[in-house]
Structure 1
Amino acid sequence: MVLPLTALTGCGGSASADGHVIRIAYQQFGSGTLWEDWINRAAERHTSRHPDHTVELVPIVAAENDYYTKNELLMSSPRTSPDISYADTFILLSDVGAGYLQPIDDFVAGWEGWQQIAEASREAVTAEDGSTYAIPTHTDTRAIWFNKEVFARAGLPEDWAPQNWEEILEAARILKSALPDVSPLVIYSGKSQGEKASMQGFEMLLYGTGSTLYDEDSHRWVIGSAGFRDSLQMLETVFAEDLTLSLAQNLDPNISETIYSRLLPQGELGMVIDGSWVSQNWVEGGTSPWPEWTETMGLARMPTQNGQDPGYVTLSGGWCLTLPQYADDPATAFSFMETLCEKDIMVDFTIANSYITVRDDVAADERYQDYSPTAEFFTSLLDGAHYRPALPAYPEVSNAIQEAMEAVMTRSQTPDQAAAAYDSAVTDIVGSENVQDESA
């Protein structure tokens, strides 16, 4: 592999022979610098307190799935491992199971910030062995973003609030008929979109059917569910009726950047199912500043399939700071993690990225409470949020979801065929004794 370029920050550049170099790996999203800015600010504060410490940034420029692979390759060797790695919570337990990470129980026990983190978020970074493996930094929720001006041109209401899937399809059909130059809808799909296809796309459908990926009572992965097939059928309808972007655009791993920078601001897309962080692109200092977004963009809850209770669905996730197994000096690395998570730094980081906080002290801050016109809406969805199965097998299951989606969107398989292939793949991944067949 080609190792990512690194940048140094801190006092005096490289560390002295008696100093400590703290290497932190994170995903670099295109031209955005928000995560880099966060790390650099914390590094400046940390090195002013610890002149013998140097912070080395290890940005990994990669598409979603490639980031996880490259980061794991780095962590797999003492020669290349960073001292801190920033990870999506969905990959955490898989990395724990692979031996890439070390527990941090002893460190968080003496850190006052730990009790500020919501209990559900602390549980999300606890492995099956009962140990804690990360510090959660934020969470998120998902809904339908829609361009109110585009909707108005098509005769759709600016306060649009679909009650079921059919009303989403009907709005998309109206947009297609009234505005031929506008793509009606994006549901992230296929392998090139990585985890956002599974989470923003498929699972936002699946969990609205009443089905699930994993049965918490039986402790088995679900196969053969009607909800899984119905979700693929919904996807087939969108692509078969050309209610979305072209297939090539949907398969572009960087399509979200195009959506945020051009398609939505220029009125070329009607709606997209996406996350609470999207507006970070449009604020002053974002990658695609768009002052008019607060007046132009609308939000609607993602409805359940037929409008059944609770009426809406959302998925919640988030990212976390981890301590790789081969961290050179764990205590020093954790000391920088503490600086990264100091309250004022976290308030600024959360606001800059349009995230939802997992911390009581940040939530109580007036700046956080007032920072975005969408914060209250997305925070209100948390009470009904679903979470991905926090199990080591999930990343492989997620990949099988993406393959099923791509088979349907490319017309290489029918929904029934793609669902059967998924069932077979999951059975191979977890073993026949760990699946629950709902087709019988």
Structure 2
Amino acid sequence: MSKRNIVIALQTLCLCLAIFMVSGCSGSGSAKNEDVIKVWHWMTDRQEAFEKLSKDYYDQTGVKVVFETYAPTDVYKNKITAAASGHLLPDIYNPQSDKKELASYINAGYIADLTEEMNTGWKDVFFEKSLIANSFEENNEWGVKPGIYGVPLDVSSLMIYYNKDLFKQAGLDPENPPKTWPEFIEAGKKLREAGIQPFVSGFGEAWLIGAFAASYQWSLFGKQGIIDTIDGKIPYNDERWLKIFKLFEEMRDNKMFASGIVTMVNKDAERTFATGRAAMTFNGSWGVNVYKSMNSTLNYGLMYPPSLPDAKYPLLVFGGDGSSMFVNAESPRKDKAIAFLKWFTQKEQQAYLAKETLNIPSNKESADDLPEILQEFSKSITKTFDNLPKLEAWQVTNYININLQSVIIGEKDPAKAVKEIQEEKLRQTKV
């Protein structure tokens, strides 16, 4: 047997075992649990809060809801994939996928269309951007019927956290973080001179380095320029893309990056920042809860990614949506699952979740009583990227992120990096 056939056989065996393991659990078709709503999720930090709310719901309605956690993310995703293959998905879940993959779940009949229920007034409680992320527009490229398919539980955005004590130690004003790119580089120099690593993030995770770069793509190209790039009207070796890569080169040359940043997963980056081993980190609003659990005395503030003085468009940030839940269209308890999610996203329940888990609630009526740091994140939701009508091929996006990593470690210069990305774009266009 060839090596390739052995690999395929092993993958098939693993999938079969996974399906067997899933079927051993109480999936949506289990007769034993006809009155129990099953929810699968990956948010281990929220399990206790979820269980408290599920008990409240049972006391009020007599309907039992069970939350099951599967982490880390790859374990959770593998379980979802296996369950979908065996038609054993729970009543409520999230496939943890991009728009394209989400469309495949919808088109396969694994996710219910919630538009009718949302139009009863339910959708009015949510931040608009959280709904957009869970919706498909007319004539979308994946052939999904227009509508709302997901229920947002919270919203998020990504900003730069900075350690006020380390800023002060380096002679920087802890109440006046850098706002422009030149100020950002100068702050990095002072931190490095003081023996402090200036900047850390989980840039070993491709999406995170891409999210940081995307702020500058929006700032230099604008929305239409991004769409034109996806359409091939603007090449990736355009001088504006070259400028983006030079920003990372400038950070590298000024020794701003923490050691090992391009192989660092975000959890390690969070730990590095929480323990005072780096002064700044690019991370999401969920970090508020993470840093509290890692170091409750951490003294930090928030800043937007530094703006470019010569940028044509406003600087925006990655975010808008957060975690969402989807109802299994095959579930015999579909109506009960929808009723629970309606209750789960009302003001009182959302306020409780926000207080206990330190995440920004998707219910905009619940955002008024947030801690100050989360209120700052909440305000940034209006400055997140707009929804795009189409996405770049994942192969091209992957090339961008890998080449950004290569520039950071000095393997490639920016000119070579953007040239290779354009070559990959042309290859994908011909496929």
TM-score (norm 2): 0.79
- Residues in 2 aligned to 1:54 and 1:345: alpha-carbon distance in whole angstroms: 16
Kept in 2, the 8 Å contact 1:214–1:220? The answer is no
1:227-251: per-residue Cα shift (whole Å, max 9, x none)?
332222222333344322222x541
The more displaced of 208-217 and 420-429 is 208-217
Higher strand residue share: 1
Match of 2:364 among 360, 367, 387: 360
Matches within 5 A, 1:39-438: 39-51=50-62, 53-63=63-73, 66=74, 69-70=77-78, 72-74=80-82, 76-86=84-94, 91-98=98-105, 99=107, 100-110=110-120, 112-127=121-136, 128=140, 129-179=145-195, 182-189=196-203, 192-199=204-211, 201-210=212-221, 215-216=226-227, 220=231, 223-224=235-236, 225-247=238-260, 249-253=261-265, 256-261=266-271, 263-283=272-292, 287-290=293-296, 292-293=297-298, 296-306=299-309, 308=311, 312-317=315-320, 318-363=322-367, 369-387=368-386, 389=388, 391=390, 398-429=397-428, 431=429
What amino acid sits opposite 1:20 in the alignment?
A: D
SS of 1:338 mapped into structure 2 = helix
- The percent identity for this pair of structures is 14
Cα 1:26–1:346 change in 2 (3 A) is same
1:145 deviates by 1.2
Kept in 1, the 8 Å contact 2:51–2:66? The answer is no
1:17-45: per-residue Cα shift (whole Å, max 9, x none)?
473342222224xxx522x1233123213
- Residues in 1 aligned to 2:239 and 2:327: alpha-carbon distance in whole angstroms: 40
1:174 deviates by 1.5
- Residues in 2 aligned to 1:272 and 1:341: alpha-carbon distance in whole angstroms: 31
1:297 deviates by 1.0
Kept in 1, the 8 Å contact 2:114–2:148? The answer is yes
- Residues in 1 aligned to 2:328 and 2:159: alpha-carbon distance in whole angstroms: 33
SS of 1:242 mapped into structure 2 = coil
- Residues in 2 aligned to 1:394 and 1:343: alpha-carbon distance in whole angstroms: 39
Kept in 1, the 8 Å contact 2:202–2:268? The answer is no
1:169 deviates by 1.6
1:75 deviates by 5.1
1:59-88: per-residue Cα shift (whole Å, max 9, x none)?
23124xx36842651453244322211366
Kept in 1, the 8 Å contact 2:221–2:313? The answer is no
- Residues in 1 aligned to 2:188 and 2:131: alpha-carbon distance in whole angstroms: 40
Unaligned runs of 5+ in 2: 1-13, 23-29
1:384-432: per-residue Cα shift (whole Å, max 9, x none)?
3224636465755543432222332343333223223333444555x36
Cα 1:252–1:384 change in 2 (3 A) is closer
- Residues in 2 aligned to 1:202 and 1:145: alpha-carbon distance in whole angstroms: 17
Cα 1:233–1:406 change in 2 (3 A) is same
**Where has structure 1 moved over 6 Å in runs of 4 or more?**
none
Cα 1:79–1:413 change in 2 (3 A) is same
1:180-230: per-residue Cα shift (whole Å, max 9, x none)?
xx21112442xx41422322x221333333456964579836542333322
Unaligned runs of 5+ in 1: 7-14, 364-368, 434-440
- Residues in 2 aligned to 1:426 and 1:138: alpha-carbon distance in whole angstroms: 35
Kept in 2, the 8 Å contact 1:208–1:303? The answer is no
Kept in 2, the 8 Å contact 1:303–1:311? The answer is no
1:155-185: per-residue Cα shift (whole Å, max 9, x none)?
1111233242222122112111122xx2111
What amino acid sits opposite 1:298 in the alignment?
A: G
TM-score (norm 1): 0.77
- Residues in 1 aligned to 2:147 and 2:31: alpha-carbon distance in whole angstroms: 34
What amino acid sits opposite 1:303 in the alignment?
A: P
Match of 2:42 among 15, 21, 27: 27
Q: Which residue of 2 aligns with 1:366?
A: none
SS of 2:98 mapped into structure 1 = helix
What amino acid sits opposite 2:113 in the alignment?
A: P
Kept in 1, the 8 Å contact 2:125–2:363? The answer is yes
1:353 deviates by 3.3
Cα 1:121–1:264 change in 2 (3 A) is closer
Cα 1:327–1:371 change in 2 (3 A) is same
- How many aligned residue pairs are there? 399
What amino acid sits opposite 1:315 in the alignment?
A: F
CA RMSD of aligned residues (A): 3.6
Higher helix residue share: 2
